[in-house]
Amino acid sequence: MTARVGVVTFPGSLDDGDAARAVRIAGAEPVRLWHGDPDLHGVDAVVLPGGFSYGDYLRCGAIARFAPVMGSIVDAARGGLPVLGICNGFQILCEAHLLPGALTRNQHLHFRNRDQVLRIEAVGTAWTNAFQPGQEVLIPVKNGEGCYVADPATLDRLEAEGRVVARYVGGNPNGSQRDIAAITNEAGNVVGIMPHPEHAVEALTGPSLDGLGFFTSVLKHLVGAPA
């Protein structure tokens, strides 16, 4: 049976269509989820896409965290549902307290858009099991509030527990502490990443095909998950 991966659309979402396309290319069925509808329609995993949910008013992701669909996603994620938050989706996951820390204004105060090398460090998550430890990938980054911050104790805990999923290589585009580009929760089913793997799934439009591994990983995870 084909896995069904939900992609949420918020007011101001930008990359929901790209995320749905990446899901389809990976071999799953994308299911469009609406911010105002708490029904997850029986999906096997969820992607929170990039963009500017609710116009980034108040704080990036702060309003989206209270959308009806997010109540269902938070409960399902705590029960083991794989959830990937990309860029704005990462911000929403932090605001929803599914991931620790916060994403703040880029240290240089400029929007940064470029192809970025990442080193994958945690391959035991639902979204990164297709990679090898230390593997370097090329994925676009585009953000104005992508600087990951947390208190020293949280950063040390993420390091000690192997929950830093990816780091920036060859230059930090936003000033994120310890070059952190992606992190995961303790269970490994929730991952937040600031760069955009959905923009690196086709040779025609992306700098590489490296982003596809995030989406094929969750399919592999679902096959091995208990019924």
In 10 A of CB 39, how many CB atoms?
Answer: 11
Any catalytic annotation for residue 198? yes
SS3 content of the chain, % helix, strand, coil (to 5): 30, 25, 45
In 10 A of CB 111, how many CB atoms?
Answer: 12
The one catalytic residue among 145, 147, 198, 221: 198
CA 23 to chain centre: 13
The CA–CA distances, whole Å, from 192 to 35, 36, 103, 121, 203 equal 19, 22, 11, 14, 24
- Per DSSP bridges, beta strands 83-86 and 102-104 are unpaired
The one catalytic residue among 60, 145, 196, 221: 196
The one catalytic residue among 87, 95, 145, 147: 87
* Coil, helix or strand at residue 47: strand
Reading the block at residue 147, the tokens are: 């600087």
In 10 A of CB 41, how many CB atoms?
Answer: 11
Any catalytic annotation for residue 147? no
* Coil, helix or strand at residue 183: strand
Which residues participate in catalysis according to the annotation?
Answer: 87, 196, 198
